[in-house]
Amino acid sequence: MTVITDATTDWSAGVTLTVDEVWQNKRTTPLSLATGASAPGDDLDGVQLGPYDSLFLSAGVTVYYRKADSSSSLFTRTAVST
Asked if the 2-79 domain carries CATH number 2.60.120.10, the reply is yes
Looking at residue 43, its pLDDT comes to 87
Looking at residue 56, its pLDDT comes to 97
Looking at residue 76, its pLDDT comes to 96
The full set of domain ranges for the chain reads 2-79
| Residue 2 clears pLDDT 70, i.e. is over it | yes
| Residue 82 clears pLDDT 70, i.e. is over it | no
Q: What is the pLDDT of residues 12-69, one digit of tens each?
A: 999 999 999 999 999 999 999 999 999 898 988 999 999 999 999 999 999 999 998 8
Helix (H, G, I), strand (E, B) or coil at 73: coil
Q: Note if the pTM is more than 0.75.
A: yes
